[in-house]
Amino acid sequence: MRKNKQTTILIIKTGALGDVLRTTALLPPLSRAYRARISWLTSQKAKPLLTRNPFIEKIFTNPGQIAQKFDWTLSLEEDKALAKIAQKSFSKKITGVIVKNARLSYTDDSAPYYQMSLLNPNQTLANKLKSLNQKTFFELWLSVLGLSRFKKSEMMRPQIFPTKSERKTALNFARKHSLLDGAIGFNPGAGVRWPSKELSIEKSREVIKRLASFKKPILLLGGMEERKRNRAISRGLSGVTLPPPMPIKTFAALIDFCEILITTDSLAFHIATALKKKVLVLIGPTSSSELDVFGKGEKITTHPCDCFYRPHCLREKSCLNAVSESRIFSSVRRLL
């Protein structure tokens, strides 16, 4: 694609929610380099993460809404039906996931990223490449998209734009629970899809007990899937606030009241980086290198992990649960 000439781009990325949000970091350099008019095909559930983003012209949640071909399609979902849609949607170029010989594959230019994925027929090689990789998701995709000349700036991070109403709801909750002077956010879960990325209930309770010495309110965060679990974590512990279920961007606006967020590799992590919050991310079976704190935090890694990219841990005690509370406490103390 020719830079400095207006280019229509379609991004196809529907889930997971954290992956959708981190992909928004690519919007500013794409817009600048290609004078891009960007549209995005996503899921109804992920749509709120993209609304009000000034770099997105149109958001589609149904392929039937797409009535044009785009100069360039970025096919970023490892799904055969969506890959076929991607291959019908471009007029000049496609980058990313495609269907080839009735199987999911990827374009040559996207190999730096997808050769480390499940799309690589040689999974032993894919896992090796993934474990050896030293580039962040952002750096990998800048290279794929021909944008390596762009350096990080304040805008080149995940982006989320809560409305005034969403911010007001979060403010009212923060005021009611004495969070206005800054809370410690703690998000120990990872949803039902990745139990190997979460801290156990017992471990989470021990971490909270150590964090209590900072004399700050602790905001125990999670989605609907973690609601029951978070109740068990908070039971009998003082100084812990457990928010009710709330829409994604109200949840984001609430995270904005955190002085620091301690989290696993989750949606909350990407929200924190979008909001330029200090963040301590606890990384177990996923790629530490791909996660970027954008100069505002630290990463605690447990690699090498025997369960690299396994949703369920094979050990009696997971790598994450083996991280000492003292190590987490020391990192938080440095960041506060």
Of residues 266 and 77, the one with the higher pLDDT is 77
Amino acid making up residue 318: S
Q: Was domain 8-144 assigned CATH 3.40.50?
A: yes
Amino acid making up residue 240: V
Structure-block tokens of residue 204:
């989470």
Structure-block tokens of residue 109:
């230019």
- Provide the H-helix boundaries in 77-226: 80-89, 111-114, 123-132, 137-144, 164-176, 201-211
d(CA 321, CA 315) in angstroms, rounded, equals 11
**pLDDT score for 15:** 87
Mean pLDDT of the chain: 92
186 beta partners: 220, 262
- Classify burial at 251, counting beta carbons within 10 Å of its beta carbon; exposed 0-12, middle 13-18, buried 19 or more: buried
Enumerate the domain spans of the chain: 8-144, 164-335
Count how many Cα atoms sit within 13 Å of the Cα of residue 187 in the half-sphere of its side chain: 33
pLDDT over 70 for what percent of the chain? 92
User: Is the pLDDT assigned to residue 89 strictly greater than 80?
Assistant: yes
Q: For 312, phi and psi rounded to 5 degrees?
A: -120, 135
Q: Does 164-335 match 8-144 at the fold level?
A: yes
Q: 4: which residues sit within 8 A by CB, 6+ positions away?
A: 33, 34, 35
d(CA 217, CA 177) in angstroms, rounded, equals 9
Beta strand 70-75 pairing with 8-12: parallel
Q: 121: which residues sit within 8 A by CB, 6+ positions away?
A: none
User: Is the pLDDT assigned to residue 42 strictly greater than 60?
Assistant: yes
Average pLDDT of the residues in 120-134: 89
Do residues 222 and 299 make contact, with C-beta atoms less than 8 angstroms apart? no
Do residues 24 and 51 make contact, with C-beta atoms less than 8 angstroms apart? no
Q: Starting from the edge strand earliest in sequence, which strands make up the sheet with 103-106, in order?
A: 56-60, 37-41, 8-12, 70-75, 90-100, 103-106
Q: Report which of 239, 278, 241 is spatially closest to residue 256, judged by C-alpha positions.
A: 278
d(CA 73, CA 87) in angstroms, rounded, equals 8
Per-residue model confidence as pLDDT tens digits over 240-287? 999 999 999 999 999 999 999 999 988 999 999 999 999 999 987 777
d(CA 207, CA 186) in angstroms, rounded, equals 9
Q: Which CATH superfamily is domain 164-335 in?
A: Glycogen Phosphorylase B; (3.40.50.2000)
Do residues 5 and 58 make contact, with C-beta atoms less than 8 angstroms apart? no
Cis peptide preceding 304, ω within 30 of 0: yes
Q: 126: which residues sit within 8 A by CB, 6+ positions away?
A: 115, 116, 117, 118, 120
The whole model's pTM is what?
A: 0.92
Per-residue model confidence as pLDDT tens digits over 128-144? 898 889 999 999 999 99
User: How many Cβ atoms are within 10 Å of 15's Cβ, its own excluded?
Assistant: 14
Average pLDDT of the residues in 287-295: 89
Average pLDDT of the residues in 111-120: 95
Q: What share of the chain is helix, strand, coil (3-state, %, to 5)?
A: 40, 20, 40
**pLDDT score for 310:** 63
